[in-house]
């Protein structure tokens, strides 16, 4: 995108989202309709999805996504969107994934567009999934590592936002403080996508939801049990549960529960069944998904030894998966510390979907970027 002196601009164009398609085919860069269905041992559900431009959503609830910016859309929290919008994004992710898997590279909606990727926290999956996905759809992504910006230290976040939006069409940021992503969204005039903060990780949970739909057939009505630290992954699951109805359980040691306000927000939505417990064995009974994450995240490594003691009994091992039942899938957002929060045997078991889950980061994020760019 050419730089425009004196100000930053962004225009969002609204187009209807087609609800069904018959076969994946492209002509002149536009995706024609097709139909995908997911078959589950529990249920069968057909998803009618299209790679045509998605319709605009209602304004996000976050104050920083301000209506003063007109049509600009950010992706900061899953709960900023309604159920219909979340499901449309997931449906579109499935369609674009099917297209890329077919080897077709004619769909290039990001052609001529650039994305700035801010990494205060390094990550293999986040960088490769965003950069590769943006490239496969015709765009160019620019990596800005921890030493390139030093956001909030060498330069104020608001200044970074207002400079980058003059060069780029979209900004993705993976940062520590949640306030940094809020400030980027507040001052940038192009869409901002939350690649992770200490508070939440919405792109990961969108990929997780896509994975569940692929393997179970639907997200609604499933029982997802998270075992471990009540961290940013849990917060994102809770925010999704405030929008889409399912049963979410977080089993964690005492003192490591998720943020109380976020738990209360999910419960007050009155959509999903929410449980916070300290008993993992009881929690996983009847689970469709057992989910784990590292016990000590980036920035908490000095607590690793202490946490290993406190989290005894919260390892996802073969015995716990047996308690969950034969239909339970295992998920992990990776990287995993094998032998710590999960055994090697569980990760390598046939019902482990951690690698399809990792792949779906790219496909879910592609759909998120298409949505916020109005393409």
Question: Cβ(333)–Cβ(233) under 8 Å?
Answer: yes
333 is a catalytic site residue: yes
Q: How many CA atoms lie within 13 A of 148 on its CB side?
A: 13
Q: Is 323 left (phi over 0), alpha (psi -120 to 50) or beta?
A: alpha
Beta bridge partners of 74: none
Cα–Cα dist 128/334, whole Å: 14
Question: Cβ(179)–Cβ(120) under 8 Å?
Answer: no
Contacts of 98 (CB under 8 A, 6+ apart): 24, 34, 36
Cα–Cα dist 255/176, whole Å: 21
Cα–Cα dist 267/261, whole Å: 10
**Of 120, 176, 170, 134, residue with least CA distance to 297:** 176
Query: Edge-to-edge, what's the strand order for the sheet holding 223-227?
Result: 273-277, 247-251, 223-227, 289-292, 329-332
Three-state SS at 157: helix
Question: Cβ(334)–Cβ(296) under 8 Å?
Answer: no
Nearest-Å Rg of the Cα atoms of the chain is 20
Catalytic residues: 333
């Amino acid at each position: 995108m050419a730089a425009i002196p004196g100000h930053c601009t962004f225009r969002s164009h609204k187009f209807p989202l087609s609800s069904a398609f018959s076969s994946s085919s492209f002509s002149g860069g536009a995706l024609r309709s097709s139909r995908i269905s997911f078959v589950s041992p529990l249920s069968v559900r057909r998803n009618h999805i299209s790679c045509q431009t998605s319709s605009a959503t209602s304004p996000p609830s976050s104050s920083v996504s301000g209506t003063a910016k007109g049509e600009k859309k950010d992706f900061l929290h899953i709960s900023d969107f309604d159920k219909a919008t979340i499901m449309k994004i997931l449906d579109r992710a499935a369609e674009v994934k099917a297209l890329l898997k077919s080897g077709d590279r004619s769909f290039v909606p990001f052609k001529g567009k650039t994305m700035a990727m801010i990494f205060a926290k390094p990550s293999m999956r986040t960088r490769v999934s965003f950069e590769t996905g943006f490239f496969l759809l015709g765009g160019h992504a620019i990596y800005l590592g921890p030493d390139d910006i030093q956001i909030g230290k060498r330069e104020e976040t608001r200044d970074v936002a207002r400079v980058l939006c003059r060069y780029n069409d979209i900004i993705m940021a993976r940062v520590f403080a949640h306030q940094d992503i809020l400030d980027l969204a507040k001052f940038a005039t192009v869409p901002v996508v939350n690649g992770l903060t200490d508070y939440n990780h919405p792109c990961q949970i969108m990929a997780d939801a896509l994975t569940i739909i692929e393997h179970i057939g639907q997200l609604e009505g499933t029982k997802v049990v998270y075992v471990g630290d009540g961290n940013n992954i849990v917060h994102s699951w809770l925010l999704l549960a405030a929008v889409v109805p399912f049963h979410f359980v977080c089993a964690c040691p005492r003192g490591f529960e998720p943020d109380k306000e976020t738990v209360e927000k999910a419960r007050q939505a009155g959509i999903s069944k929410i449980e916070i417990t300290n008993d993992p064995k009881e929690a996983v009974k009847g689970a469709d998904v057992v989910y784990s994450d590292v016990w000590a995240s980036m920035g908490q490594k000095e607590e690793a030894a202490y946490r290993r003691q406190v989290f005894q009994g919260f390892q996802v091992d073969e015995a716990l998966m047996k308690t969950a039942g034969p239909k339970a899938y295992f998920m992990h957002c990776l990287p995993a510390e094998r032998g710590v929060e999960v055994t090697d045997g569980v990760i390598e078991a046939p019902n482990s979907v951690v690698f399809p889950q990792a792949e779906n980061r790219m496909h879910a994020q592609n759909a998120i970027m298409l949505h916020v760019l109005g393409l």
